[in-house]
Structure 1
């Protein structure tokens, strides 16, 4: 039986000095959180609502609420414009990825609401079908980006531009003091 705890281990992530490596590492995290999502319904069926489930759900929600959107913004702001500028015929692929970002975000919102309601004990179960479908779609999206987007970025974006992109990606994640 798959333990939720076994899915929470994390590897050291690359730095923003290597933005494409950072984006690949984000996909590794996406896959780990998708694995957690896939394991969750069966784990809940066997063990019910317990602290491990509550903690796992909190971690999944935190990841897909914060890191997922930041990752998409990194791609949309840093990679897409430079690729399009150098390879205009890539527009259909970029449009597909943009559409997938929006669709994944909307699918996430529905799952998120159920996960939070389950954690708050206002929902007795989560939909295994919806959770598995979200995880499948996200894995397929990551695979498409790894097969085309990241290699295209590596081929078309020079080292100085990637370094600048990495600095902007890091700056997006820097908390700014409240005014």
Structure 2
């Protein structure tokens, strides 16, 4: 089980790093749902403001980097394998990134308002966002990530280097 205090894998293990990001997706998506319930009872109190700011930080900074890791590096490398079935699943999941982005655009203003102490009802898209994001991550883990064993060590190292560069780490 992922512990929030555990250190993240390094860029020399890009898939492990992506999996760790998925654990954070699950954690922050769940926090969205709990925040909605909390805010309904307590409004935008300190706890709600802190939770909203945490969710905002993750989905504004880390999630776009994670999507770029997949869309710009991992998915193209896996498409190069020439597996028609795998490519079709990658295409489906790649397209879901757009749907998740659309949902984020609906949820973000509510989280921004909540982080500033404003009490507003959660948008109707919050439930779909909090449900679909973890489901998407699970599908990637089950349908796409297992194919990574077919990539060369050099290709994986290249993916890890690009992930590091994207984050200004190397």
* Backbone CA RMSD of aligned residues: 1.9
Residue 70 (1) aligns with residue 65 (2): yes
Q: Aligned match of 1:168 in 143, 152, 162?
A: 162
Q: Which residue of 2 aligns with 1:61?
A: 56
| Separation in 2, partners of 1:163, 1:175 | 14
Give aligned pairs, total: 167
| Separation in 1, partners of 2:36, 2:119 | 13
TM-score by length of 2: 0.90
- Indicate how the Cα distance of structure 1 residues 121 and 51 shifts in structure 2: closer, same or farther if over 3 A, else same: closer
TM-score by length of 1: 0.86
Runs of 4+ in structure 1 off by over 4 angstroms are none
Counterpart of 2:121 in 1: which secondary structure?
coil
- For residues 150-174 of structure 1, the C-alpha deviation after alignment (integer angstroms, 9 at most, x for no partner) is 1112x22111111111111011001
Q: Which residue of 2 aligns with 1:105?
A: 101
Contact 2:48 2:114 in 1 (8 A): no
Gaps of 5+ in 1: 1-7
- Indicate how the Cα distance of structure 1 residues 124 and 67 shifts in structure 2: closer, same or farther if over 3 A, else same: same
| Separation in 2, partners of 1:10, 1:30 | 16
Gaps of 5+ in 2: none
Q: Aligned match of 2:7 in 5, 12, 29?
A: 12
- For residues 126-148 of structure 1, the C-alpha deviation after alignment (integer angstroms, 9 at most, x for no partner) is 23x42221111001100110002
